[in-house]
Amino acid sequence: MVRVIAHGELRQYVPGKIVEVHGEGRTIGEIVAALGVPAEAMAAYILNGEQSEAATKVKDGDTVEVLPAISGGAGGALEGIRVVDLTRALAGPYCTLMLADHGADVVKVELPGTGDETRDWAPPHINGVSAYYLMINRNKRSITVDLKHPEGKRVLERLIEGCDVVVENFSPGTLERLGFPPERIRAIQPRAILCRISGFGQDGPGRAWPAYDLIVQGMGGIMSLTGQPGGVPTMVGVPEADMIAGMFGAFAVAAALHARERTGLGQVIDATMIGGQVALLSRQAARFFADGTVPSPEGNVHASIVPYQTFRAADGYVNVCCGNNALFERMCRALDLEDLLDDPRTLDNAKRIASRDHVVSRVEKRVGGMTKAEVVRRLREANVPVGPISDLGEVFADPVVRHLGLVAETDHPTAGRVRSPGIPVRMDGTPPSVRRHAPVLGEHTDAVLGEIGYSAQEIAGLRRAGAV
């Protein structure tokens, strides 16, 4: 017998989350199809913990997990919204990725011949296509337009006439030099929302400064708080300054679309990387404003809670968080540290903070003699917040990640089957979806130009002129 586990929305097709079927000699695809699961509803197959293909044959005793696709759908919350995407690199494309995942028709305008610079950011690549580009440009359509060419400017004007949103992350002043300042965009389409993403704003003392993620992480305070006490300032391991700017930009676009329902008019959004970093300072900023303390790196500990930190197990690391006395008591019982419950130094959190070294050393010694899995199992059974520190191989094998469909797959004409992080939210009324692969440069030029009124002869003329 073969054990089949259906995750997430796929449970509607399977009688129970787990079923056992006769599968010796059959392929994964054949088994799942026999259960009535549509092919378009599936994102990936996991055979005995490893990513596998539908054509893989199974044998008795195997376990097959089927992950739901967040794909092929329609009716997202932003369906019917057209976005003219004048972005490149990361902050802007991440903003438009979020809009596209929720159903917007994102038309990515790129320079003929080269396109978005991330197309060349490789290795790594997948069959010659930049993996970086593939990760952040799904669900978009690509057209090539030379915005310095007079006829290219006319193409952009006609795109704006029929759009709801324009997103750009040029250096401040570039859009104006191209002949499309905000007032002209408003004149072309009063309902259009213009979202401008930059490092330090469209005006003010930082408008001319170049911005990369590392620079802004440093200037925004995040790096001063990250790392081990006494160590060098450390950047976050993902380009979060870019991504957070894109997230806030997308949120502002959604808010502006809602406001437009009342006013009938669009507006200009000034989203900045530095603004996103300052917004993330949260409790550390509260501490600074409360008493003037300038926080420094704390490593993986919490200044106000003990224990709330990383511990080294025999085969890796785990995080344990005991935010109140009840959790501390349950942790002690789960880890066979009951003697700490009678210790006057651990009676409440304030006393545990004063005796941090004593408490932490006891937990360290106990956890150090156990595997990650054993620590996690014991504490989860006791309902104590705990989790392993996972590398990416472990992340994408995690049953929670699988269940939530947090791996998206698309078929790219050059790269083949492409996996990327899925959509992090689910909505039962207007679900987000992965509908398109990251586009080939200019893949949709003719189609989009036709939609805005150009004839085939006119499109040919634009190509001859070098405008597209």
Q: How many Å apart are CA 210 and CA 219, to the nearest integer?
A: 13
Residues 59 and 103 in one domain: no
Q: How many Å apart are CA 199 and CA 178, to the nearest integer?
A: 20
Residues 139 and 185 in one domain: yes
Residues 103 and 244 in one domain: yes
**Res 40 pLDDT > 70:** no
Per-residue HEC secondary structure of 277-314 comes to HHHCCHHHHHHHHHHCCCCCCCCCEECCEEEEEEEEEC
Q: Which two tokens stand for residue 152?
A: 């290219």
CB atoms within 10 A of CB 289: 10
CB atoms within 10 A of CB 192: 23
Q: Which two tokens stand for residue 419?
A: 């996996």
Residues 128 and 262 in one domain: yes
Residues 107 and 248 in one domain: yes
Residues 222 and 141 in one domain: yes
Task: Give the residue with greater pLDDT, 44 vs 392.
Answer: 392
Residues 318 and 221 in one domain: no
Q: How many Å apart are CA 236 and CA 248, to the nearest integer?
A: 18
DSSP letter for 40, please. G
Does residue 40 lie within any of the structural domains?
Answer: yes
Tell me: the pLDDT tens digits for 127-137?
999 999 999 99
Helix (H) or strand (E) holding 42, with range, is strand 42-47
Does residue 75 lie within any of the structural domains?
Answer: no
Residues 362, 345: contact at Cβ < 8 Å?
no
CB atoms within 10 A of CB 261: 7
Mean pLDDT of 456-463: 97
What are residue 243's DSSP bridge partners?
A: none
Does residue 433 lie within any of the structural domains?
Answer: no
**Does 339 qualify as catalytic in the annotation?**
no
Does residue 467 lie within any of the structural domains?
Answer: no
Q: Which of 116, 242, 339, 398 is catalytic?
A: 242
Residues 195 and 256 in one domain: yes
Residues 54 and 165 in one domain: no
The per-residue pLDDT for 42 is 65
Does residue 407 lie within any of the structural domains?
Answer: no
The per-residue pLDDT for 74 is 64
Which of 38, 68, 98 is a domain's end point? 68
Residues 148 and 25 in one domain: no
Does residue 409 lie within any of the structural domains?
Answer: no
The per-residue pLDDT for 431 is 87
Residues 64 and 108 in one domain: no
Is cis: bond before 112, omega within 30 of 0? no
Does residue 332 lie within any of the structural domains?
Answer: yes
Beta strands in 111-212 (DSSP E): 125-126, 129-130, 140-144, 165-168, 193-198
Residues 106, 99: contact at Cβ < 8 Å?
yes
Residues 276, 241: contact at Cβ < 8 Å?
yes
Does residue 122 lie within any of the structural domains?
Answer: yes
Tell me: the pLDDT tens digits for 243-265?
999 999 999 999 999 999 999 99
Judged by DSSP in three states, 180 sits in coil
Mean pLDDT of 165-190: 97
Instruction: Provide the whole-model pTM.
Output: 0.86
The total number of structural domains in the chain stands at 3
Tell me: the pLDDT tens digits for 289-318?
999 999 999 899 998 899 999 999 999 999
| Lowest model confidence (mean pLDDT) among 53-57, 104-108, 238-242, 276-280 | 53-57
Residues 19 and 141 in one domain: no
CATH number at residue 48: 3.10.20.30
Q: How many Å apart are CA 291 and CA 311, to the nearest integer?
A: 31
Q: Which two tokens stand for residue 31?
A: 């088994």
> DSSP of 407-463, one letter per residue?
EEEEEETTTEEEEEE--S---SSS---B-SPPPPTTTTHHHHHHHTT--HHHHHHHH
Q: What band does 23 get if pLDDT is binned at 50, 70 and 90?
A: confident
CATH number at residue 240: 3.40.50.10540
Domain that holds residue 306: 301-395
